Amino acid sequence: MDLKRMEVFCKIIELKSFTRAGEALSLAQPTVSEHIRALENMLGEKLLDRFKGEILPTPVGRLFYKYAKNIIQMRDEAFQAVEQFRGKLEGQLNLAASTIPGTYILPKLIGEFKAAHPGSQIALHISDTIGTAEAVAEGRVDLGMVGAKWGHPKLTFEEIGSDELLLTVSSSHSWAQARIIEPLDLAQEPFLLREAGSGTRMVIKQILEDHGLSIRSLNVIAEIGSTDSVKQGVKDGIGVSILSALAVSDELCRGTLVSVEIRGISFQRSFYLIKRKNRQASPLCSAFIDHLRERN
């Protein structure tokens, strides 16, 4: 079986588009279509369907994708192993991360790794925590980094680094002068909350429950999918929020935002590397994991 056809098929599944897959692989769309036609003819099955403008796998396409993806990954790992034997470390590494580690931690670490291994090609996909975990579990990426941990049958979580979440208000808010509030005061102010699936939201929920409170007791006026949007809403006085110290450090230094203590409650959390169980990491992935461990 032609591995190129399998690679094209996997890329279409991941990007949900013939056009985007062709661009990613530097192939003309007629060539992409011909690869899929030849693959379907060889298997005697239809692998892809079009639905609402997106290309999605048929049931047999989903089945075939799992095997095809593993074969492509094994090919890449074989080439990486040979390059490592020669004293080089080259190849493609696909990472996924939730918003905070993906925005404030990994870019610098990726830059350092690239400087040490210029032959490596690293792609970083930023999603929420749940989306990141799904990408690792489904084999679409090699490694993930998130800000919350839970039981998952296909994943392992390794603690690597930490963060603090801070109750954050605008500089003109009355709490900015007090600098400390009682836990029950949280329910009195409009609150901006990250979306379901966010690691920040998971940690807030757990810590509030540990102190006899709940997210349902908050006066949530909006659930927002972007940390930057939440920050802007807080700056504009729309509401208060609990945000990563990494995300608001610049604003706190400039005084556009102010952190407020909640008496008796601190929001400490860890970051985690997530890997798929029973999957051997490629030489490149193993080297990157070692780099993360050394820097944290």
Q: For position 82, what pLDDT does the model report?
A: 80
* Residues 170 and 264 occupy one common structural domain: yes
Q: For position 55, what pLDDT does the model report?
A: 92
User: If you average pLDDT over residues 84-110, what whole number do you get?
Assistant: 88
Q: Structurally, how many domains does the chain consist of?
A: 2
| Residue position matching structure tokens 């349902």 | 216
Amino acid residing at 75: R
Q: Tell me: pLDDT of 120 over 80.
A: yes
Q: Classify residue 4: in a domain, yes or no.
A: yes
Q: Tell me: pLDDT of 139 over 90.
A: no
Residue 162 — φ and ψ, nearest 5°?
A: -145, 170
The residue among 53, 87, 121 that closes a domain is: 87
Rounded Cα distance, 280 and 4, in Å: 23
Q: For position 240, what pLDDT does the model report?
A: 97
Q: Is 125 helix (H, G, I), strand (E, B) or coil?
A: strand
Q: Classify residue 26: in a domain, yes or no.
A: yes
pLDDT digits (tens, 9 = 90+) for 217-246: 999 999 998 999 999 999 999 999 999 999
Amino acid residing at 231: K
Q: Tell me: pLDDT of 87 over 70.
A: no
- Give the chain's mean pLDDT: 91
Q: Which long-range contacts does 55-60 make (Cβ < 8 Å, 24+ apart)?
A: 55/12, 55/13, 55/16, 55/17, 55/18, 56/16, 57/13
Q: Tell me: pLDDT of 40 over 90.
A: yes
Q: Classify residue 114: in a domain, yes or no.
A: no
Q: Classify residue 201: in a domain, yes or no.
A: yes
Tell me the Ramachandran region of residue 74: left when phi exceeds 0, alpha when psi lies from -120 to 50, beta otherwise.
alpha
pLDDT band at 154 (very low <50, low <70, confident <90, very high): very high
Give me Rg for the CA atoms of the chain.
Answer: 23
213 CB-near residues (< 8 Å, 6+ apart): 183, 186
Q: Classify residue 234: in a domain, yes or no.
A: yes
pLDDT band at 189 (very low <50, low <70, confident <90, very high): very high
Q: For position 83, what pLDDT does the model report?
A: 74
Q: For position 153, what pLDDT does the model report?
A: 92
* DSSP secondary structure code for residue 270 in this structure: E
Domain holding 27, by residue range, is 1-87
Rounded Cα distance, 261 and 106, in Å: 28
Q: Classify residue 119: in a domain, yes or no.
A: no
The residue among 87, 119, 139 that closes a domain is: 87
| Stretch among 50-59, 152-161, 257-266 having the lowest mean pLDDT | 50-59
pLDDT band at 208 (very low <50, low <70, confident <90, very high): very high
Query: Per DSSP, what are the bridge partners of residue 97?
Result: 126, 145
- Cβ atoms 271, 105 nearer than 8 A: yes
User: DSSP alpha helices (H): ranges in 117-243?
Assistant: 129-137, 175-178, 199-210, 227-235
Q: Classify residue 125: in a domain, yes or no.
A: no
**Is the pTM for the entire model greater than 0.75?**
no
Neighbours of 252 (CB within 10 A): 15
CATH number (domain holding residue 51) = 1.10.10.10
Q: Tell me: pLDDT of 113 over 70.
A: yes
User: If you average pLDDT over residues 41-60, what whole number do you get?
Assistant: 91
Q: For position 65, what pLDDT does the model report?
A: 93
Rounded Cα distance, 296 and 292, in Å: 6
The residue among 87, 105, 125 that closes a domain is: 87
User: If you average pLDDT over residues 95-108, what whole number do you get?
Assistant: 95
Q: Classify residue 120: in a domain, yes or no.
A: no
Q: Tell me: pLDDT of 84 over 90.
A: no
- Choose among 165, 130, 162, 156: nearest CA to 273: 156
CATH number (domain holding residue 249) = 3.40.190.10
